[in-house]
């Protein structure tokens, strides 16, 4: 059964991303075709990238990198929950992604964004970043509007259309995670390097 991480992509004090991630987890947990777990970047101590070698070499010198590597390596796919900051993703999310390489490869990713325009611009940027790491982004995404899907800009009250969008995106993430499984086998990984 595929294991899918729901990655909380903000660590800002007062953030609402844990509420959004919990909503995603609640909807996802009603499924019986995958296991879902929340990974909060706030639970990982990742300074600005500080490894002496590029992540593509996989030779990590710091414990915080090894812990992050082990966490990400154990999943078959991801759902990224991110706000939009200045037409992009938060720096902490980009930094966490940049720490690793092979751990991301040949896995599927779905997206839940939120913001004034539903986080759409951040999600488009995230697609480009993950594409470079050989992550397969699914087409459908959830774009939560601070005006229409939140009360007082902080309390998540998603419209029914968002629930439907989430379920569609989760269908794709699970299906693609399964479809990419043969590319994640140790035998294939050795020949791909």
Chain-centre distance for alpha carbon 17: 12
Mapping DSSP to helix (H, G, I), strand (E, B) and coil, where does residue 143 land? strand
- Work out the average pLDDT over 78-87: 97
Q: Is 102 within 8 Å of 58 (Cβ atoms)?
A: yes
Three-state DSSP state, 173 = helix
- Confidence (pLDDT) at 185: 75
* 30 pLDDT higher than 70: yes
The pLDDT of residue 156 is 97
For 140, residues 6+ apart whose C-beta sits below 8 A from its C-beta are: 110, 165, 168, 169, 172
Q: Is-contact 23 156, C-beta < 8 A?
A: yes
Provide CATH code, domain 3-192: 3.40.50.360
Predicted structure pTM score: 0.94
- Domain ranges for the chain: 3-192
Distance CA 12, CA 76 (A): 27
Tokens 């990400």 found at: 72
Q: Which pLDDT value is given to residue 184?
A: 87
């Amino acid at each position: 059964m595929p294991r899918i991480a729901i990655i909380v992509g903000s660590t800002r004090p007062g953030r609402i991303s844990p509420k959004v991630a919990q909503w995603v987890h609640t909807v996802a947990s009603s499924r019986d075709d995958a296991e879902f777990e929340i990974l909060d970047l706030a639970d990982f101590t990742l300074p600005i990238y500080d490894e002496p070698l590029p992540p593509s070499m996989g030779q990590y010198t710091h414990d915080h990198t090894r812990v992050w590597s082990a966490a990400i390596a154990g999943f078959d796919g991801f759902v990224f929950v991110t706000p939009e900051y200045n037409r992009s993703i938060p720096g902490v999310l980009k930094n966490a992604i940049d720490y690793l390489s092979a751990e991301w490869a040949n896995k599927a990713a779905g997206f839940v964004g939120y913001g004034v325009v539903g986080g759409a611009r951040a999600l488009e940027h995230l697609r480009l970043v993950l594409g470079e790491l050989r992550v397969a982004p699914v087409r459908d995404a959830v774009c939560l509007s601070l005006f229409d899907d939140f009360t007082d800009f902080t309390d998540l009250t998603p419209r029914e259309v968002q629930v439907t969008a989430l379920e569609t995106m989760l269908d794709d993430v699970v299906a693609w995670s399964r479809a990419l499984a043969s590319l994640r086998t140790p035998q294939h990984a050795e020949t791909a390097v």
